[in-house]
């Protein structure tokens, strides 16, 4: 088909008739025609083409035409010969400058007056839906047929001529499309079956699938939270990871309960001390993994010099734990290789059956294992994951165990000024790490701190004392901060906020921000900052969005933190928001 010839001989009358039928049914047009002649529209159109630069408002006023009736609709529907000449010139690849010059029409009015050319039963087919009916348009700056655009009348995709398909190509692609759709539908059925067996990795609610038929893609969404994924395998892995973590937390809690019960056999409940801790998560290893990647480019001599310097800066307890981990890993698994792009590094792994920390407590008798592990991680010696229940150790440490153990040798420099019977009984040696070269301190086994009962006191070196006592009393162990992994931590600031914005109860972004604020700032300041923001939103002084609530509150907290002051709040807000029951120690 000769598109140029088709356009030049195109009859716009059918399109104009459809426009006119719709135009006359509009309420504002019907009202106009009740009191005015339809001929006014035709006169309006003819007068416009006498001077296309005329003021539209003045022209409408002359014919008493409502401003709400678009002038371009009148020009198109009540078309004159001059308008038809304009359309032919437009589609005849006339340049924009020549078009303006020939019709004395402003540039900004040209596009409003264009009527599309419709081609039905074209010899070309849409590359998306295989339809062969198009609306043809041309840019007002276009001067060549190649720049014509074809808007498919079925799917509305805009294409240029080279993108259109022949009948043969369309048939081939359609057959391929049918096959891909059948395969896609089969994949969706499999995904739906899998989703019945798993839950959301974030909140453990039901998952569902959204099909994107046009692109043969899908999105997996949660019915409750904002979880979304476009890969079923990733969703399965994320859920399995949650299950492993949940199972590990249950196992950790069982070990903690076992430790508590064992301690109760020898101590009264009032004398038992436990320190709360977070479990060691994968994200805490980012810096160590980055260091591992750096070491992959070092030779062994250079690497050992760097590692040895770091080991020498460790205290005795850290060295003891490190050497024990090296022995455990060397005896359990063979060498593995991990890759960082093109770089590789050899590592060994320790993966006990019991929860990692409690396995190490049992094997090393070091109560503060988590603290020690985090110290070793901070020095980039090991990668630790309580979620995965493993420790990764680089080969350089495995190969130099003997050198590390020599660094643990106890110095026999007895402090002859120590005269306490406890120190003498322990041979001037730290009860925990065996150190004799550091100052010793007394720690009590019971809360009454009975100085007359030598059996209730032990000697620790200053480093172990700092780690293993609380108020001079020897702690009995550590329990994780998450009392129940399967329940979210209660946030006081969240309880306060949802009084006024209950819709934010499950908003993950808000909850994360509140957790960060309660960790970084005084809880009283967080409550007061929220009060100010809530009040300003209520009074429409700031925008009532989640983003504004977070950014405005965060700004208040940062500014007060920089000055070292507390958040200042006016007295009327104290009473209005009943802050006395939320803010501790301020209104006493």
pLDDT at 538 over 80: yes
Q: Name the band, by pLDDT with cuts 50, 70 and 90, for residue 278.
A: confident
Return the higher-pLDDT residue of 8 and 36: 36
Question: Across all residues in the chain, what is the average pLDDT?
Answer: 85
For the chain, give the percent of residues with pLDDT over 70: 92
Residue 488 clears pLDDT 60, i.e. is over it:
no
Confidence of residue 146 (pLDDT cuts 50, 70, 90): low
CA–CA separation, 537 and 139 (whole Å): 47
> Is 337 in a helix, a strand, or coil?
strand
pLDDT given for residue 139 in this prediction: 65
The predicted structure's pLDDT at residue 315: 87
Cβ contact 567:529 at 8 Å: yes
* Residue 320 host element (H or E): helix 316-332
Q: Which H or E element spans position 474?
A: strand 473-474
Strand (E) positions, 205-342? Answer: 207-212, 217-222, 228-229, 274-277, 336-340
Q: List pLDDT tens digits, range 326-370.
A: 999 987 767 888 887 777 888 999 999 999 999 999 888 888 899
Rounded to whole angstroms, the Cα distance separating 179 from 302 reads: 59
- pLDDT at position 585, please? 53
Hey, which bits of 120-165 come out as E strands? 134-138, 148-152, 158-160
Distance separating alpha carbons of residues 495 and 42, to the nearest angstrom: 68
* CB of 282 closer than 8 Å to CB of 244: no
- Could you read off the pLDDT of 579-588 as tens digits, one per residue? 887 886 544 3
Rounded Cα gap, residues 385 and 280, in angstroms:
6
Are 151 and 135 in contact by the 8 Å Cβ rule? The answer is yes
Residue 137 β-bridge partners: 149
Task: With cut-offs at 50, 70 and 90, classify the pLDDT of residue 481.
Answer: low
Among 302, 320, 331, smallest CA distance to 406 is for 320
Would you place residue 495 in the very low, low, confident or very high pLDDT band (cuts 50, 70, 90)?
confident
Average pLDDT for 472-492? 63
64-93 pLDDT, tens digit each: 999 899 999 999 999 999 999 898 888 876
Question: Which pLDDT score, from 0 to 100, does residue 484 have?
Answer: 39
Evaluate if residue 216 carries a pLDDT over 70: yes
pLDDT at 422: 81
pLDDT at 480 over 50: yes
Winning range, highest mean pLDDT, from 384-388, 422-426, 568-572: 384-388
How much is the average pLDDT of 164-184? 90
Q: How confident is the model at residue 141 (pLDDT cuts 50, 70, 90)?
A: low
pLDDT of 486: 36
Residue 94 sits at the vertex; the CA angle it makes with 91 and 99, to the nearest 5 degrees, is: 105
* DSSP conformational letter for 161: G
Q: Which neighbouring-strand residues pair with 460? A: 441
pLDDT digits 0-9 by tens, 553-564: 999 999 988 888
| Distance from chain centroid for Cα 512 | 11
Q: What is the mean pLDDT of residues 531-535?
A: 91
pLDDT band at 50 (very low <50, low <70, confident <90, very high): very high
């Amino acid at each position: 088909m000769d598109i140029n010839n088709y356009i030049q001989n195109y009859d716009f009358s059918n399109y104009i008739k459809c426009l006119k039928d719709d135009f006359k049914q509009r309420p504002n047009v019907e009202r106009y025609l009740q009191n005015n002649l339809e001929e006014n529209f035709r006169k309006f159109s003819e007068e416009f083409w006498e001077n296309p630069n005329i003021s539209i408002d003045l022209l409408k006023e002359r014919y008493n035409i409502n401003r709400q009736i678009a002038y371009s609709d009148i020009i198109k529907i009540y078309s004159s010969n001059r308008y038809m000449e304009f359309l032919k010139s437009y589609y005849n690849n006339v340049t924009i400058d020549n078009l303006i010059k020939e019709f004395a029409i402003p540039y900004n009015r040209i596009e409003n007056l264009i009527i599309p050319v419709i081609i039905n039963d074209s010899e070309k087919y849409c590359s998306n839906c295989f339809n062969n009916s198009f609306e043809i348009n041309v840019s007002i700056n276009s001067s060549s047929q190649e720049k014509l655009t074809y808007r498919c009348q079925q799917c509305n995709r805009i294409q240029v001529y080279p993108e259109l398909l022949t009948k043969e190509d369309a048939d081939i692609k359609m057959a391929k499309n049918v096959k891909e759709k059948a395969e896609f539908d089969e994949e969706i059925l499999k995904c739906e079956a899998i989703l019945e067996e798993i839950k959301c990795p974030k909140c453990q609610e039901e998952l569902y699938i959204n099909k994107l038929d046009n692109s043969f893609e899908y999105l997996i969404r949660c019915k409750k939270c904002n979880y979304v994924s476009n890969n079923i395998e990733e969703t399965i892995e994320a859920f399995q990871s949650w299950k492993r973590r949940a199972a590990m937390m249950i196992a950790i809690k069982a070990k903690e309960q076992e430790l508590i019960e064992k301690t109760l056999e020898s101590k009264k409940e009032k004398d038992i001390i436990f320190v709360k801790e977070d479990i060691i998560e994968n994200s805490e290893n980012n810096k160590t993994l980055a260091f591992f990647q750096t070491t992959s480019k070092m030779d062994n001599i250079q690497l050992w010099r760097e590692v040895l310097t770091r080991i020498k800066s460790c205290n005795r307890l850290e060295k003891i734990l490190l050497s024990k981990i090296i022995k455990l890993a060397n005896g359990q698994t063979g060498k593995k290789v991990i890759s960082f792009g093109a770089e590789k590094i050899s590592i060994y792994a320790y993966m006990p059956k019991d929860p990692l920390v409690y396995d190490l407590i049992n094997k090393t008798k070091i109560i503060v294992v988590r603290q020690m592990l985090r110290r070793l991680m901070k020095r980039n010696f090991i990668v630790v994951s309580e979620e995965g229940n493993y420790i990764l150790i680089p080969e350089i440490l495995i190969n130099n165990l003997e050198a590390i153990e020599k660094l643990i040798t106890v110095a026999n420099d007895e402090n002859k000024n120590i005269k306490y019977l406890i120190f003498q009984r322990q041979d001037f040696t730290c009860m925990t790490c065996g150190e004799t070269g550091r100052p010793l301190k007394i720690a009590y086994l019971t809360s009454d701190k009975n100085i007359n009962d030598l059996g209730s006191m032990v000697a620790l070196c200053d480093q172990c004392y700092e780690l293993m006592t609380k108020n001079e009393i020897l702690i009995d162990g550590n329990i994780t901060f998450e009392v129940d992994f399967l329940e979210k931590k209660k946030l006081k600031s969240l309880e306060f906020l949802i009084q006024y914005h209950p819709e934010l109860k499950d908003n993950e972004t808000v909850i994360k921000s509140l957790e960060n604020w309660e960790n970084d700032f005084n809880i009283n300041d967080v409550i007061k900052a929220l009060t100010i923001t809530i009040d300003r939103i209520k009074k429409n002084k700031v925008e009532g969005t989640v983003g504004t609530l977070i950014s405005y509150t965060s700004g208040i907290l940062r500014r007060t933190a920089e000055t070292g002051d507390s958040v200042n709040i006016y007295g009327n807000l104290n009473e209005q928001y009943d802050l006395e029951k939320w803010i501790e120690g301020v209104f006493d």
